């Protein structure tokens, strides 16, 4: 269990600004937050997600993608899981960028345990968000629910590496449902063992090779407000 931190509560609308009807439908009733980032959050925010048991190639790609995003003043969002998520958070921090951890646990719990120090640092210097109150039981379904919330918080999502049963696919589909940009790292699109990449591409997911390619398709805060209004 983590040391007690100063936490606060807010709604999703208070966190990211005005919501459209679809976003309101899927928004959690309340969020618990700890950290230093201003609320409402600045944009753009991009989720970098993928497998817990990631390959070295996937980990290197996640680190590079997060580094490029951070250097362009883009907030890197991820789920603090082992593998791709951890690599994205750490790389954003190392690049002197900003990162947001969207947790599948209450703020006073850590999963996996190995990320306790990383979570402590993010809660102190960046921002951690949970929709689960203190004392809420940790269950596998929480992490699927968390993925939907992460898709809502992020202006766009990037899947770096994911198998056919990866939890990251839940977020991919949620992003597409919300009309948010979804990017898939190029090697995944060429992996014929995967049955989800072409399906997502049919619904608008975009392939990319270089993280710089992602930048032009990111919505600015102004464009987001125009769409909502």
pLDDT digits (tens, 9 = 90+) for 140-164: 999 999 999 999 999 999 999 999 9
In a domain, 2, yes or no: no
* pTM, rounded to two decimals: 0.92
Give CA separation, 181 vs 50, 62, 157, 200, 216, in Å: 16, 18, 7, 11, 11
Q: Do the domain assignments include residue 3?
A: no
Rounded distance, CA 207 to CA 189, Å? 7
Least confident of 6-10, 73-77, 188-192: 6-10
CATH code, domain carrying 196: 3.40.50.450
pLDDT in tens, 79-117: 999 999 999 999 999 999 999 999 999 999 999 999 999
In whole angstroms, what is the distance from residue 76 CA to residue 211 CA?
13
User: Can you give the pLDDT at residue 220?
Assistant: 62
Could you tell me which residues are beta bridge partners of residue 47?
77, 157
For residue 1, pLDDT beyond 90:
no
Residue 5 scores a pLDDT above 80? no
**168 in a structural domain:** yes
High-pLDDT (> 70) share of the chain, % = 93
In a domain, residue 124? The reply is: yes
Query: What pLDDT was estimated at residue 226?
Result: 40
Position 35 in a domain: yes
Q: Is the pLDDT of residue 130 over 50?
A: yes
Domain limits for position 194: 8-228
Residue 71 in any domain: the answer is: yes
In the chain, how many domains are there?
1
pLDDT (mean) for 167-176:
96
3-state helix, strand, coil in the chain (%, to 5): 45, 15, 40
């Amino acid at each position: 269990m983590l040391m007690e931190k100063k936490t606060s509560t807010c709604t999703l609308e208070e966190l990211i600004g005005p919501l459209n009807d679809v976003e309101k439908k899927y928004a959690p009733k309340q969020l618990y937050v700890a950290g230093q980032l201003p609320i409402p959050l600045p944009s753009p925010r991009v989720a970098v997600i993928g497998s817990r048991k990631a390959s070295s190639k996937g980990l290197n790609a996640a680190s590079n993608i997060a580094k490029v995003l951070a250097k362009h003043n883009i907030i890197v969002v991820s789920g603090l899981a082992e593998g791709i998520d951890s690599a994205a958070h750490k790389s954003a921090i190392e690049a002197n960028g900003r990162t947001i951890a969207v947790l599948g646990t209450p703020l006073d719990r850590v999963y996996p345990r190995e990320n306790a120090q990383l979570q402590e640092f993010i809660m102190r210097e960046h921002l951690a968000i949970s929709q689960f109150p203190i004392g809420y039981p940790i269950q596998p379904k929480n992490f699927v629910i968390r993925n939907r919330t992460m898709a809502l918080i992020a202006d766009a999502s990037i899947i770096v590496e994911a198998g056919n049963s990866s939890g990251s696919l839940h977020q991919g589909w949620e992003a597409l449902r919300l009309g948010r940009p979804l990017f898939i790292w190029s090697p995944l699109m060429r992996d014929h063992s995967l049955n989800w990449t072409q399906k997502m591409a049919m619904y608008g997911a975009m392939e990319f090779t270089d993280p710089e390619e992602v930048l032009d398709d990111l919505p600015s805060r102004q464009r987001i407000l125009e769409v909502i209004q």
